[in-house]
Amino acid sequence: MDERIDPDACIFCQIVAREAPAHRVFEDEQTLVFMDIFPVTEGHTLLIPKSHCTNLLDARPHELEAVVAHSQRIAHAIRRVIAPDGIGVFQLNGAAAGQTVFHYHMHLIPRMRGEPLALHGRRLGDPERLAETARALAAALEPGAHAALRATRDTR
């Protein structure tokens, strides 16, 4: 469970530094939220601390707290925008647990009743669709917002 990588070679650190592209939903000093590029479902979102850590075991507690607090706001935005039957919160630690990017991250995955459970998407998301969903989620972060992007769910 100790798959440490050089932050210079970390794709999520590159996204934080804007050296790699991402469909951003929200950021503040400590936390960045963006769309998973291989979405399991429409609205699949990742939350990360901006400073590099590998997984739950070496993440700094105040950064974990920030991710969890933001996950509640993002979950409300997902509910407003996607209107799923449920939202899965997943966080994998170590390759043996299925972790593939070794910078701590939390997945928020909208779930519909009856769909098979999956943790990783198989297809690259359509960039325009990801951008549209990111914009809709960002707009829905405002209290009382009711952005409607009732999904056509064509990214699965």
User: Residue 47, interface with Zn ion (CB under 5 A)?
Assistant: no
Nearest to 108 by CA among 41, 56, 27: 41
Nearest to 151 by CA among 122, 132, 34, 75: 132
Give the nearer residue to Zn ion in terms of CB position, either 52 or 129. 52
Question: What is the Cα Rg of the chain in Å?
Answer: 15
Is 105 an active-site residue?
Answer: yes
C-beta atoms surrounding 45 within 10 Å: 27
Which residue out of 105, 107, 120, 146 is catalytically annotated?
105
User: Residue 42, interface with ligand AMP (CB under 6 A)?
Assistant: no
Q: How many residues bind Zn ion, per CB under 5 A? A: 6
**Are 41 and 112 within 8 A, CB to CB?**
yes
Can you tell me the distance from the alpha carbon of 18 to that of 144, in angstroms, rounded to the nearest whole number? 30
User: Residue 98, interface with ligand AMP (CB under 6 A)?
Assistant: yes
Token pair of 103 as six digits: 């910078």
Least distance in angstroms from the C-beta of 30 to ligand AMP: 19
> Which residue in 23, 80, 103, 105 binds Zn ion (CB under 5 A)?
103
Which among Zn ion, ligand AMP, none contacts residue 149 (Cβ within 5 to 8 A by kind)? none
| Site residues for Zn ion per CB under 5 A | 7, 10, 12-13, 52, 103
